[in-house]
């Protein structure tokens, strides 16, 4: 793994809220684990770019916003939410 991945407290709290409310908690856990793995491996080719250094990624049933610090090989998950049911 090439990058260190960390989650802002607000993102961890959002993930916890989603997990508690989920009908399929295993799906939330799998998606969060996949996010960690893929962000650590190759964050600049995962998801789509947004303003500044921010990127967004959909890993059903989650959507995460993150930023990449290439110089220090760090990724920070800034926020996470559940996917819209219409998606």
Sign of the C-alpha dihedral computed for residues 7, 10, 16 and 21 taken in this order:
negative
DSSP letters spanning 34-65: HHHHHHHH-GGGSSEE-STTEEEEEETTEEEE
Confidence of residue 53 (pLDDT cuts 50, 70, 90): confident
CA distance 16 to 32: 11
What per-residue confidence (pLDDT) applies to 87?
45
Cβ-contact 39, 66 below 8 angstroms: yes
Q: Which CATH architecture is the domain 4-82 placed in?
A: 2-Layer Sandwich (3.30)
Percentage with pLDDT > 90 across the chain: 89
**Where do the domains of the chain lie?**
4-82
72 is written with which tokens? 């220090």
- Tokens at residue 22, please? 């989920």
Confidence of residue 85 (pLDDT cuts 50, 70, 90): low
Average pLDDT, the chain: 94
Q: What is the mean pLDDT of residues 66-77?
A: 96
């Amino acid at each position: 793994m090439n990058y260190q991945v960390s989650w802002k407290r607000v993102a961890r709290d959002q993930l916890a809220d989603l997990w508690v409310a989920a009908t399929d908690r295993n799906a939330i856990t799998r998606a969060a684990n996949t996010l960690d793995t893929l962000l650590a491996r190759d964050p600049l080719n995962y998801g789509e770019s947004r303003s500044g250094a921010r990127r967004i990624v959909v890993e059903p049933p989650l959507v995460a916003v993150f930023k990449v610090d290439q110089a220090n090989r760090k990724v920070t998950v800034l926020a996470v939410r559940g996917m819209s049911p219409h998606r």
